[in-house]
């Protein structure tokens, strides 16, 4: 069994309340606050992590995983100075101009 000194070090961005939740479970989390550049890079990593979790989830868990992906995407947009509302405006404009994905259309090339 590994103890805190021999266990592999985990280093990932977590939701703001995770340290509190860990404390409530009886453990003491080791954390630090990322600087702006590290935060931006960790958000990019988090987007990849959440994306993989969506792909690996069973159908019942997909809504929770998509919500995590959206949360990470909104946080990343905010770092770039773009609000969640602006992201939604852009999404809606693209949907109006180019459509969404509800039509289930698969493109196979041009003739």
Helix (H, G, I), strand (E, B) or coil at 77: helix
pTM: 0.84
> In angstroms, how far is CA 57 from the centroid of its own chain?
14
pLDDT in tens, the chain (111 residues): 555 566 667 899 999 999 999 999 999 999 999 999 999 999 999 999 999 999 999 999 999 999 999 999 999 999 999 999 999 999 999 999 999 999 999 999 999
Which tokens is 110 given?
């041009």
What are residue 56's phi and psi, to 5 degrees?
-90, -10
* Alpha helices (H) along the chain: 18-24, 36-56, 62-79, 84-98
Distance of CA 5 to CAs 8, 9, 91, Å?
Answer: 8, 9, 46
């Amino acid at each position: 069994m590994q103890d805190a000194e021999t266990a592999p070090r985990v280093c990932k961005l977590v939701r703001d309340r995770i340290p509190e939740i860990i404390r409530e479970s009886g453990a003491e989390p080791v954390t630090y606050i990322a600087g702006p550049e590290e935060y931006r890079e960790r958000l990019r990593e988090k987007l990849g992590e959440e994306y993989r979790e969506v792909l690996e989830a069973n159908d019942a868990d997909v809504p929770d995983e998509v919500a995590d992906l959206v949360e990470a995407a909104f946080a990343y947009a905010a770092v770039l100075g773009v609000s969640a509302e602006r992201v939604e405006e852009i999404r809606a404009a693209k949907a109006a101009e180019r459509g969404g994905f509800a039509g289930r259309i698969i493109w196979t090339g041009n003739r």
